[in-house]
Amino acid sequence: MNPEAAETVALQALAYVVGDAAARERFLALSGTDPAHLRTQAGNAAFLAGVLDFVLADEALLVAFCAAAEIAPDAPQHARACLPGAIPAD
């Protein structure tokens, strides 16, 4: 996966999180951000990496997001590996 495709997956994840009230509130609480900040950071690859970290940390959220986005369950992990702060694979 290339960085552009990774950012697309992350933007889809952000849209999903924002659209799910429970996930949105949990993300806002854990990240310490607010709704206005979400809009300004949508183009920031490091922020999008954090969105994927959030989704990947909750299996139920991950599965629901992948189903809604009609993507493979491993797509978010592959996307995360292409964004800033990824831990290199061995």
CA angle 90, 61, 65 (to 5 degrees): 90
Q: How many independent structural domains does the chain possess?
A: 1
Residue 88: inside a domain: no
- Residue 64's pLDDT is 97
Residue 42: inside a domain: yes
- SS3 state of residue 72: coil
pLDDT 10s digits, 52-86: 999 999 999 999 999 999 999 999 999 999 998 76
DSSP 32: T
pLDDT 10s digits, 28-49: 999 988 888 888 888 899 999 9
Residue 65: inside a domain: yes
Residue 87: inside a domain: no
Residue 89: inside a domain: no
User: Range of 26's domain?
Assistant: 3-81
Residue 90: inside a domain: no
Residue 38: inside a domain: yes
- Residue 58's pLDDT is 96
